[in-house]
Chains A and B, each alone.
Chain A
Amino acid sequence: MTRTAQPRPRPAGPGRPDDAGPGRPDDAGPGALDRLPAVVPDASLPAVPAVDRRADRTGTRRTARVPSPALLLGALVLLVVSVVLAITIGPAQISPVDVWRSVAAHAGLGSTPLPALRDAIVFDMRLPRVLTAGAVGAGLALAGAVMQSLTRNPLADPYLLGLSSGASLGAVGVLVLGLGVVLPVAAFVGATLALLATLALAGSLGTTSPTRTVLAGLAVAQLCAAATSFVIFWSATGDSYREILSWLMGSLGGTTWTSVAIAGSALLLVGTALATAGGTLDAFAFGDTSAAALGVDVRRTRLLLLTGVAVLTGAMVAVSGSIGFVGLVLPHATRLLVGARHRVLLPLSALAGATFLIWADTAARTIFDPRELPVGILTAVIGAPVFAWILRRRRAVS
């Protein structure tokens, strides 16, 4: 990238002596070592050349931005349209009007309910699945954006702290060993235990600095993965392999209204709290010390946000398994659109994540119909190239 380092000629404005170089103190006679001028008077301050490379357009592009309220509104409309359209797609022919009639009937508004079978397809099968996909996508993208800022690590994702590995261990415990709890509960407990282990390990190494926390999470994740592999290797038989594999790769196959309740309530309660922490997260751009100097209580904020991310991610993993790349790629893609200010970035990431996962899951359940792919395979297939492209673009800028 070319760079013009030549200072522009200064405008010779009033009160700005053009001849004085930058920073030269008053001329008070040579050799007077014992009497320094106290302060350079204001009027005689020579101008530091202003940098203006507006004409120099080589290499870098200016960051053009769409007004954020318009973007948020647009993303919301896109999400609602996506929900309705995704429900209509599938082996059984459903129209948007059918979707509306079914929802209205169940909400006590509509007068003409659908035939029972079609109504069941909309209300008991596709609607909870699409809503769960939306909630999980939103939660993962939001948690990923928060983690990336909090750890100042562009490779961070919601699973960084061993959450998904802990959840997998819990889930495998149910699927293989037949532990007597429902799967989401086991997954959530596994995720929580893994987070506690990570924080305890990071704390025992000193303080919970971003790097230590990430490394501790890595250690816990590896340990949980080893335990999971061992359980599968030792005990899994026949059909349970497919079920386990599907869960480990992330799937929305078995979603019910219970899934919607778990993912939705986590998103509403924890997600909203995280999304409103925007201004505080902005302060972390230049690191912990910088955030503290901007008036943020760094330790308390980090602990609160990490806990929020853990609860949110734990709930999402509990209903869907560990769907990869949504929490990594969507925040980056959103930053390309609106920049890094969290006040817009966080809600828009959530909306984009919801829309993305709804379409990814729709594709996962239809393209190889009647067979269904775990959606995690699709998000990886889409996410990996997109991530590579984002990395290339970042290199080009910096």
Chain B
Amino acid sequence: MSLEVRGGGVRIGDTVVLDGIDLTVPAGTVTGLLGPNGSGKSTLLRLVAGVGGALPGRVTTTGDVRWHGADLLAMRPRDRARRVALVEQDARTEVELSVRDAVLLGRIPHRSRWAADSDADRTAAQAALDAVGLTGLADRPLASLSGGERQRVHLARALAQRPELLLLDEPTNHLDIQAQLAALHLVRAATSGGTTALVALHDLNLAAAYCDHAVVLAGGAVVAAGPVADVLVPAVVDAVYGVSTTLLPQPGTDRPVLAFRAAAPPDLPAVGAWGG
């Protein structure tokens, strides 16, 4: 019972973005998808979501993506969308939607093309709004919300989709620290209801604090995977990011904090020392 990717690969034009990806995301976990810029995190999420065909350029996907044994890529898009929800990075719109209307978009895979919102749709949207704490803003225009609130709307839209597998691409991007913690907290809360979450993250400390498992990508391949305590160790992080990492205990929790220094004199221009 899990998400299994075997031999996953994506080529855009002649560029190999992902190659030979093998990974397992245990059901019910929050699994962090980590790696430097350009390592293929977003592309992997899109491969799993089956939306490669919507990318610009000639996209070729290979490999096998199974959710609880069922072949996700061979499924009808609609059936897949009932199981897998994707929250993109910085999803934006020019359309003037209310918060509730934006959340109701998540019900599209669950109803016939011609149908109006059913009571079940409205109930699911309301439950999703309640779950992310946006009940009071339901009738606001989406554009009037702050970045953190908008991220919650996107999460609510994905929750209204009632997915078994929730894919999130950098859900903390451009958010202040309180909103970052809130966003990941809500993801955790969603998985307590049985949903599995695969979350692309830049901030390793957020991954250390919120994830059960972690998968590290570098150069389009998996370089480490497993329980987060086994993956977020200096041996892995130093090699992938080219830094020197120290694990520090964090008072009040048994989750570590990672502190970083440049491993070697980096190939960057020198900066004057602080304090003169």
Could you tell me the distance in whole angstroms from the C-beta of B26 to the nearest C-beta in chain A?
Answer: 10
Q: Could you say which of A27, A279, A290 contacts B91, with CB atoms under 8 Å apart? A: A290
Q: Are A40 and B192 in contact (CB under 8 A)?
A: yes
Using A28-B254, A31-B249 as known contacts, say yes or no to A282 and B141 having CB atoms under 8 A apart. Answer: no
Report how far A59 CA is from B255 CA in the complex, Å.
42
Q: Could you say which of A37, A153, A293 contacts B81, with CB atoms under 8 Å apart? A: A293
Q: Are A36 and B135 in contact (CB under 8 A)?
A: no
Number of A-B contacts (CB under 8 A): 216
Q: Does A51 contact B (CB under 8 A)?
A: yes
Q: Are A36 and B86 in contact (CB under 8 A)?
A: no
Q: Does B94 contact A (CB under 8 A)?
A: yes
Of A30, A50, A51, most buried by chain B (CB within 10 Å of CB) is: A51
Report how far A29 CA is from B255 CA in the complex, Å.
9
A-side contacts of B76, CB under 8 Å? 295
B-side contacts of A206, CB under 8 Å? 56-58
Report how far A343 CA is from B105 CA in the complex, Å.
12
Count of chain B residues near A, Cβ 8 A: 85
Q: Are B140 and A62 in contact (CB under 8 A)?
A: yes
Interface of A is mostly: loop
B-side contacts of A48, CB under 8 Å? 132-133, 182, 185-186, 189
A-side contacts of B55, CB under 8 Å? 289
Could you tell me the distance in whole angstroms from the C-beta of B182 to the nearest C-beta in chain A?
Answer: 5
A-side contacts of B98, CB under 8 Å? 63, 339
Docked complex: A28-73 residues within 8 A CB-CB of B: 28-42, 45-54, 59-60, 62-63
Q: Does A229 contact B (CB under 8 A)?
A: no
A-side contacts of B261, CB under 8 Å? none
A-side contacts of B254, CB under 8 Å? 25, 28-33, 35-37
CB-CB nearest in chain A for B28: A39
Report how far A49 CA is from B149 CA in the complex, Å.
11
Could you tell me the distance in whole angstroms from the C-beta of A326 to the nearest C-beta in chain B?
Answer: 20
Q: Does A294 contact B (CB under 8 A)?
A: yes
A-side contacts of B186, CB under 8 Å? 48
Q: Does B251 contact A (CB under 8 A)?
A: yes
Q: Are A30 and B56 in contact (CB under 8 A)?
A: no
Q: Does A287 contact B (CB under 8 A)?
A: yes
Q: Are B143 and A293 in contact (CB under 8 A)?
A: no
Could you tell me the distance in whole angstroms from the C-beta of B119 to the nearest C-beta in chain A?
Answer: 16
Q: Does A118 contact B (CB under 8 A)?
A: no
Q: Are B212 and A292 in contact (CB under 8 A)?
A: no
Q: Are B227 and A62 in contact (CB under 8 A)?
A: no
Interface of B is mostly: mixed
Using A3-B146, A45-B188 as known contacts, say yes or no to A339 and B105 having CB atoms under 8 A apart. Answer: no
Q: Are A291 and B96 in contact (CB under 8 A)?
A: no
CB-CB nearest in chain A for B111: A279
CB-CB nearest in chain B for A280: B113
Could you tell me the distance in whole angstroms from the C-beta of A273 to the nearest C-beta in chain B?
Answer: 11
A-side contacts of B70, CB under 8 Å? none
Report how far A207 CA is from B13 CA in the complex, Å.
11
Q: Could you say which of A22, A62, A279, A335 contacts B96, with CB atoms under 8 Å apart? A: A335
Q: Are B94 and A293 in contact (CB under 8 A)?
A: no
Q: Could you say which of A33, A292, A394 contacts B51, with CB atoms under 8 Å apart? A: A292
Of B146, B185, B188, most buried by chain A (CB within 10 Å of CB) is: B185
Q: Are B137 and A340 in contact (CB under 8 A)?
A: no
Of B29, B46, B140, most buried by chain A (CB within 10 Å of CB) is: B140
Q: Are B95 and A149 in contact (CB under 8 A)?
A: yes
Report how far A275 CA is from B78 CA in the complex, Å.
21
B-side contacts of A153, CB under 8 Å? 94
Docked complex: A107-152 residues within 8 A CB-CB of B: 149, 152
Residues on A facing B (Cβ under 8 Å)? 1, 3, 5, 7, 21-42, 45-54, 59-60, 62-63, 149, 152-154, 206-207, 209, 276-277, 279-280, 282-283, 285-299, 335, 339-341, 343, 394, 397-398
Across the A-B interface, the 6 shortest Cβ-Cβ residue pairs: A52-B136, A295-B81, A50-B133, A398-B143, A23-B185, A295-B78
